[in-house]
Amino acid sequence: MFPTLQITVKGLLPTASYSFMVDFSCIDNKRYRYSFHQSKWVVAGPSDAELPSRLHVHGDSPALGDHWMKQVIAFDEIKLTNNQLDQNGHVIVNSMHRYQPNIHIIVTDSNNDYICKNTYVFPETTFMAVTAYQNHRVTELKIESNPFSKGFRECEIEEIQALAGFRFPFSPLLKNYFL
């Protein structure tokens, strides 16, 4: 899942135990398709049948409030799949449906038994699940922003940097500019 869902938290009890979890809810009961003509997503019918969302538990859970508060909490281990039979623990979603990630903060006692939870929802994190990008500008945005997509960047300076193996303007070997 890129970009990565990440949050910072304040106000936890430093020595209390918390677990952080994320699930995904289908935002409406609709299936979408992308209208190339209108350059936007349009409703294509009612939503497909959906299994209850799998809960993704942040790998640091359970941990003390102190731990969660001292750095950005990144849910960079979340993987999505459209395979309803998935055995890898990935979160199952329906392609062409809109989703909203929900962040749950669970408070547990020293035995990690449940005490209570709060749920936080950030509407700006909604997204459309797809198996292929429908809009080239989204592709471009991802290529520009994801380090693993550097091989697809067209920006000239980036290409030369990749060939040269170093960053301007610090060149250990000037001749490498023209490989």
Give the interface with a second copy as residue ranges (CB under 8 A). 15, 17, 64, 109-112
Cβ distance to a second copy smaller for residue 6 or 112: 112
Identify whether the C-beta of residue 80 lies closer than 8 Å to the C-beta of residue 91: yes
Cβ distance to DNA smaller for residue 35 or 119: 35
DSSP secondary structure letters along 126-153: -EE--SS-S-HHHHHHHHHH-GGGGGG-
Answer with the entry of a second copy, DNA, none that 44 interacts with (C-beta below 5 to 8 A by kind). DNA
* Shortest Å distance, C-beta 90 to a second copy: 21
CA distance 20 to 61: 6
Per CB under 7 A, residues contacting DNA are: 2, 33-34, 44, 82-83, 95-96, 130-134, 139, 142-143, 146-152, 162
Cβ distance to a second copy smaller for residue 73 or 91: 73
Answer with the entry of DNA, a second copy, none that 151 interacts with (C-beta below 5 to 8 A by kind). DNA
Task: Compute CA distances 102 → 20, 33, 44, 121, 149, whole Å.
Answer: 11, 24, 25, 5, 28
* Shortest Å distance, C-beta 111 to a second copy: 5
